C-alpha cells in the first residue's frame, strides 16, 4: 500500500567515495517486505528518485545510495533535520517463504542495500543465508561488517582482486555448498550471470527509469513469461521462472 | 458557496478537474489512495484495437519542470478494456469516464469508438489523433487537417456520445486543424498532447530514451498549452478541454480564462499521486481569492 509522508533526516554518513548512508525518521507503516523501495522528492528535481530500503524499524528507515548524477549528489549535501516528501511501500519486495534453509543473497555495488533487510528477515525466520557481495575495488566495499554483525556468512569478490576473491559474485558460488535458493540485486549483467550460474530457483530485482513509481504511467514496463509487468508495481522483484532476458 | 460545475457537451461535471490519459491508468492505483469520485471525471489510458506493449525502455527522461515519455500506448486492447478494465473501474468510480482512443488507421479509430460508445460508463470519447499514421505515409493524423477531419467524420458516423478530438501541438497551425475537426462534426477539442522532445545522456553520449525522442509534458509546457488554447478558443465554437502542465488550482483558472471549459491534469499525478484531489480541494479557495463565484462564467474570460 503506497503512502505519501514527510521524513526527517536523522543522520548522513559517507561509506565510500560515492556511497552514502541516510537514516530518516518518519511513518514506516507502509513498508511491508525487504526489497521494496521508496521514491524521494528532491527540491529542484521534477521526477522522484527511487531508492531501495536498506533496513527499517517502527520509526526509522535507512537508505544507502550511490552518487551517480545530480539528484543523488544533491541528496549527499542534505543536513540532518531536512524534511523530505517520500512515497513509501512501493514495489512487491522479496518473498522469503520460498528460500529454504540456505539461500544465497547476491548483491552487486549499488544493488547491495536491499540485501541487508532481506538477510535480517531470513535470519529472524531461523534460516542460514550466505551473503555474496561484489564490488569493483577494495575501496568501494561497504556494509561487510554490518552483514557479519547480523550473523550471516559473508563472502566478498572484487573485480580487480584487491580484496577477497578476484572476480564477480558468481565466482563466490563455489564457496557455498548446497544452497537452496537465490536472491539478487545489482547491475543487469550480474543478474544474468547469477541466473545462468545457479541451479536453484530465485528472485531477481530489476531497475528501470520511472515516471511515477506506483504503477500509473507504464514508463517502467517489461515483458515476462507471464505477461507485461511494471517494474515499480509488479516488481522490482521478478521470479527466475518468469524472466525474459 | 462557489459553483465549480461545468458543462462538456451533454456531460455535467461537478468540477472541471480531469486526470489526463496515460497518467491515471484505469483509475485503480489512485482509488487505493483516495476516493476518485471527487474528480470531475478522468480520461483512461489510450486504448487501441490490438493489445500493445509499447516502445522499448528506457521510456522516461527527466527534464527541468517536466518529463519526456515514450510509453507508446501500452494498453491491453479495446476488447480487454471493455471486458476487464471497465467492470473493475465500475467498483471504484461512479461517474461517467472519458474514453481515450487511438488508432493506426481511420478504420481502427471507428472500430474502437463504435464499441466503446456502447459502454454505459463512458460519458465522452476523446480521440487521440497524434499517433503515427501507418496508412498515410507515416504522417500523424493530428498534424494534418484533412486526415484529422477524416477521422472525426468516421468516428462521428458510428457514435452517439460527445466526440472530442485530442490535438497534437507539434504543428505549425493548430487553429486550422481544430477548425477542420469542428467542421467535420467534432463536439469538442481536447488539447494539448505532448511536445516532441529529447534528452541526451552525457556519459553515454546517446539519447536517454530508447526510441530517441518522446513526448515532453509537465509545468514547463504550460505557457505553450495556454497560448494554443487561447488561439483555438478564438477560432471555434465548440468546448475545449485544456491541458499541458496544469499543476494547481490557479493553473486551472488560468487555463479556463484562456478558453478551456474543463482542464486535464497529466504529469502532476505522477509526481504527487494526490495532485488531482488537492487541486479539486483547493479550487474553492482559489475562486474566492480571485473573486469568482461560478467557474463556468470565466471560460474564455481573458479574451
Ligand atoms: C527500484 C529501484 C531501487 C533502487 N535502489 C537504489 C539504492 O538502494 N541505492 C542506489 O544507490 N541506487 C538505487 N537505485 C538507482 C537510483 O534510483 C539512481 O541511481 C538515481 O535515481 C540516480 O539519480 P541522479 O539524479 O543522481 O542521476 P541522474 O542520471 O541525473 O538522473 C536522471 C534521471 O534518471 C533516473 N535514473 C538514473 N539512473 C537510474 C537508475 N539506475 N535506475 C532508475 N532511474 C535512474 C533518475 O531517477 C532521474 O529521473 C534504484 C533504482 C530503482 C529503479
Ligand atoms: C506517461 C504519459 C503517458 C501518456 N499517455 C497518453 C495516452 O495514452 N493518450 C493520450 O491521449 N495522451 C497521453 N499522454 C498525454 C497527456 O494526456 C497530456 O495530454 C500531456 O501529458 C500534457 O499534459 P501534462 O503536461 O499535464 O502532462 C500521456 C502523457 C504522459 C506523461
Ligand atoms: S514508473 Fe510509472 S508505472 Fe512504473
pLDDT per position as a tens digit, B175-231:
999 999 999 999 999 999 999 999 999 999 999 999 999 999 999 999 999 999 999
Shortest Cα distance, chain B CAs vs residue A210, angstroms: 6
- The answer to whether A2 contacts B33, with C-beta atoms less than 8 Å apart, is yes
CB-based contact B218 A233, cutoff 8 Å: no
Distance (Å, rounded) from C-alpha B26 to C-alpha B83? 13
Q: Which residues of A touch B62 (CB under 8 A)?
A: 45-47
Spans of chain A below 70 pLDDT: none
CATH code for the domain in which residue A241 is found: 2.10.240.10
- The shortest C-alpha distance from B87 to chain A (Å) reads 18
CATH number at residue A8: 2.40.30.10
ipTM higher than threshold 0.90 = yes
How many beta-carbon pairs below 8 A join chains A and B? 87
- pLDDT band for position B135 (cuts 50, 70, 90): very low
Same domain as A114, residue A212: no
For residue B264, report the distance from its CA to the centre of ligand 2, in Å: 10
Q: Are A114 and A96 in contact (CB under 8 A)?
A: no
Question: One of B63, B112, B113, B131 is an active-site residue; which one?
Answer: B131
Contact A46 B59 (CB under 8 A): no
**Cα B147 from Cα B180, distance rounded (Å):** 9
Q: Which of A55, A90, A125 is the last residue in one of the domains?
A: A90
What pLDDT, on a 0 to 100 scale, did the predictor assign at position B140? 66
Q: Would the CB of B59 count as within 6 Å of ligand 2?
A: no
Number of neighbours of residue B53 by Cβ within 10 angstroms: 16
- The answer to whether B152 and B186 have CB atoms below 8 angstroms apart is yes
Give the C-alpha separation, A139 to B128, whole Å: 53
Asked whether residue A109 falls in the same domain as residue A189, the answer is yes
B62: Cβ below 6 Å to ligand 1? yes
Task: Give the distance from CA A200 to its chain's centroid.
Answer: 21
- Closest C-alpha residue for ligand 2 atom 9: B46
Chain B residues interacting with chain A (CB cutoff of 8 angstroms): 22-25, 29-30, 32-33, 45, 53-54, 57-67, 69, 71, 74, 208, 218-219, 269-274
Ligand nearest the Cα atom of residue A214 = 3
User: What is the domain extent for residue A107?
Assistant: 96-204
pLDDT in the model for residue B303: 97
Shared domain check, A217 and A187:
no
Closest chain A CA to residue B28: A216
* Mean pLDDT, residues B293-302: 97
Residue with cell 543473497: A105
Per-residue pLDDT band at B266 (split at 50, 70, 90): very high
Atom of ligand 2 nearest to the CA of B47: 8
Domain boundary among A40, A65, A90: A90
- Residue A115 sits in the same domain as residue A189: yes
Q: Is A30 exposed, middle or buried (0-12, 13-18, 19+ CB in 10 A)?
A: middle
Instruction: Give the dihedral sign, CA A15/A18/A24/A27.
Output: negative
> Does residue B63 carry a catalytic annotation?
no
Are residue A189 and residue A100 in the same domain, yes or no? Answer: yes
Q: Does ligand 2 lie within 6 Å of residue B18's CB atom?
A: no
CB contact under 8 A, B25 and A216: yes
A167 ligand 1 Cβ < 6 A: no
B134: confidence class by pLDDT, cuts 50, 70, 90:
very low
Q: What is the predicted pLDDT for the residue at B132?
A: 44
A197 and A216 both lie in a single domain: no
A119 and A76: one domain? no
> Of B28, B50, B55, B57, which to mutate for an interface test with A (greatest number of A Cβ within 10 Å)?
B57
**Integer angstrom CA distances of residue A90 from A32, A133, A146, A215, B19:** 9, 25, 25, 9, 22
How far apart, in whole angstroms, are the C-alpha atoms of residue A150 and residue B175? 66
Contact A2, A88 (CB under 8 A): yes
Question: For residue B137, what pLDDT is reported?
Answer: 42
- Read off the pLDDT of each residue in B254-276 and give the average, rounded to a whole number: 98
Residues A182 and A124 in one domain: yes
Comparing CB atoms, the residue among A45, A217, A221 nearest residue B23 is A217
The string of pLDDT tens digits covering residues A169-190 is 999 999 998 999 999 999 999 9
Final residue of a domain: which of A32, A56, A90? A90
Measured CA distances, A64 to A85, A93, B129 (Å): 17, 17, 45
Q: State whether the beta carbon of A49 lies less than 6 angstroms from ligand 1.
A: yes
Identify the pLDDT of residue B143: 79
What pLDDT score does A31 carry? 97
Cα(A218) to centroid(ligand 2), Å: 11
What letters, b where the CB count within 10 A reaches 16 and e where it falls short, cover B251-262? bbbbbbbbbbbb
| A107 CB near ligand 1 (under 6 Å) | no
Averaged over B52-76, what is the pLDDT? Answer: 95
Of A9, A182, A16, A20, nearest to A107 by C-alpha is A182
A77 shares its domain with A167 = no
Q: Are residues A83 and A164 both part of a single domain?
A: no
Give contacts of A87 with chain B, Cβ < 8 Å. 273
Tell me, in angstroms, the distance from the centre of ligand 3 to residue A51's CA.
14
A215/B29 CB distance under 8 A: yes
For residue A236, whether the previous peptide bond is cis, meaning omega lies within 30 degrees of 0, is yes
* CB nearest A216 (choices: B29, B64, B274): B29
Q: Give the domain CATH number at A194.
A: 3.40.50.80
For residue A14, the CA-to-ligand 2 centroid distance in Å is 40
The mean of the pLDDT values for chain B is 94
Atom of ligand 1 nearest to the CA of B67: 49
Do A106 and A197 belong to one domain?
Answer: yes
Per the structure, how many domains does chain A have?
3
- Residues A156 and A240 occupy one common structural domain: no
User: What are chain B's domains?
Assistant: 6-53+73-198+214-298 (3.20.20.70)
How distant, in Å, are the alpha carbons of A125, A147, A237, B104, B185 from that of A61?
21, 17, 20, 48, 57
Yes or no: say if A49 and A39 are a contact pair by the CB < 8 Å rule: yes
Predicted local confidence at residue B136, as pLDDT: 47
Amino acid at each position: 500500500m503506497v503512502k505519501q509522508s514527510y521524513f526527517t533526516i536523522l543522520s548522513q554518513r559517507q561509506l565510500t567515495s560515492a556511497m552514502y548512508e541516510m537514516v530518516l525518521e518518519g511513518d514506516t507503516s507502509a513498508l511491508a517486505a525487504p526489497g521494496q523501495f521508496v521514491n524521494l522528492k528532491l527540491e529542484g528535481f521534477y521526477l522522484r528518485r527511487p531508492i531501495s530500503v536498506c533496513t527499517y524499524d517502527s520509526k526509522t528507515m535507512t537508505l544507502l545510495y550511490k552518487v551517480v548524477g545530480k539528484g543523488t549528489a544533491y541528496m549527499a549535501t542534505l543536513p540532518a533535520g531536512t524534511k523530505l516528501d517520500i512515497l513509501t511501500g512501493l514495489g512487491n519486495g522479496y518473498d522469503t517463504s520460498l528460500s529454504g534453509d540456505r539461500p544465497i543473497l547476491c548483491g552487486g555495488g549499488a544493488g547491495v542495500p536491499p540485501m541487508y533487510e532481506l538477510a535480517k528477515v531470513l535470519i529472524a525466520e531461523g534460516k542460514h543465508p550466505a551473503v555474496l557481495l561484489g564490488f569493483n575495488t577494495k575501496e568501494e566495499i561497504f556494509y561487510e561488517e554490518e552483514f557479519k554483525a547480523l550473523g550471516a556468512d559473508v563472502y566478498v569478490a572484487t573485480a580487480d582482486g584487491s580484496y577477497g576473491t578476484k572476480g564477480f559474485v558468481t565466482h563466490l558460488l563455489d564457496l557455498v555448498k548446497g544452497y537452496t535458493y537465490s536472491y539478487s540485486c545489482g547491475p543487469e549483467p550480474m543478474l544474468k550471470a547469477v541466473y545462468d550460474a545457479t541451479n536453484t530457483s530465485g528472485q531477481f530485482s530489476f531497475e528501470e527509469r520511472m515516471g511515477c513509481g506506483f504503477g500509473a504511467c507504464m514508463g517502467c514496463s517489461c515483458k515476462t513469461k507471464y505477461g507485461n509487468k511494471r517494474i515499480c508495481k509488479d516488481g522490482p522483484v521478478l521470479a527466475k521462472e518468469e524472466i525474459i532476458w | 458557496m462557489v459553483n465549480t460545475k461545468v458543462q462538456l457537451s451533454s456531460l455535467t461535471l461537478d468540477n472541471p478537474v480531469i486526470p489526463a490519459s496515460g497518467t491515471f491508468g484505469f483509475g485503480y492505483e489512485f482509488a487505493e489512495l483516495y476516493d476518485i469520485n471527487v474528480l470531475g471525471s478522468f480520461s483512461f489510458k489510450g486504448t487501441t484495437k490490438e493489445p500493445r506493449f509499447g516502445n522499448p525502455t528506457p521510456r522516461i527522461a527527466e527534464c527541468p519542470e517536466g518529463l519526456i515519455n515514450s510509453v507508446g500506448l501500452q494498453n491491453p486492447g479495446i476488447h480487454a478494456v471493455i471486458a476487464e478494465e471497465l467492470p473493475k473501474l465500475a467498483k471504484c468510480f461512479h461517474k461517467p469516464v472519458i474514453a481515450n482512443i487511438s488508432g493506426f488507421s481511420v478504420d481502427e479509430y471507428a472500430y474502437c469508438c463504435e464499441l466503446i460508445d456502447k459502454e454505459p460508463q463512458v460519458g465522452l470519447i476523446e480521440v487521440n489523433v497524434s499517433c503515427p499514421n501507418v496508412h498515410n505515409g507515416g504522417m500523424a493524423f493530428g498534424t494534418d487537417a484533412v486526415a484529422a477531419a477524416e477521422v472525426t467524420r468516421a468516428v462521428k458516423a458510428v457514435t452517439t456520445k460527445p466526440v472530442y478530438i485530442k490535438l497534437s501541438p507539434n504543428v505549425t497551425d493548430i487553429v486550422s486543424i481544430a477548425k477542420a475537426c469542428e467542421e467535420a462534426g467534432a463536439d469538442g477539442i481536447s488539447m494539448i498532447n505532448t511536445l516532441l522532445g529529447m534528452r541526451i545522456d552525457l556519459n553515454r553520449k546517446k539519447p536517454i530514451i530508447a526510441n530517441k525522442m518522446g513526448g515532453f509534458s509537465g509545468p514547463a509546457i504550460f505557457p505553450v498549452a495556454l497560448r494554443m488554447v487561447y488561439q483555438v478558443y478564438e477560432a471555434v465554437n465548440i468546448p475545449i478541454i485544456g491541458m499541458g502542465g496544469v499543476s494547481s488550482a490557479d493553473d486551472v483558472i488560468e487555463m479556463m480564462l484562456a478558453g478551456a471549459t474543463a482542464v486535464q491534469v497529466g504529469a502532476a499525478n505522477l509526481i504527487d499521486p494526490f495532485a488531482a484531489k488537492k487541486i479539486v480541494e483547493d479550487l474553492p479557495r482559489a475562486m474566492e481569492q480571485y473573486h469568482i463565484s461560478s467557474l463556468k462564467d470565466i471560460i474564455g474570460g481573458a479574451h
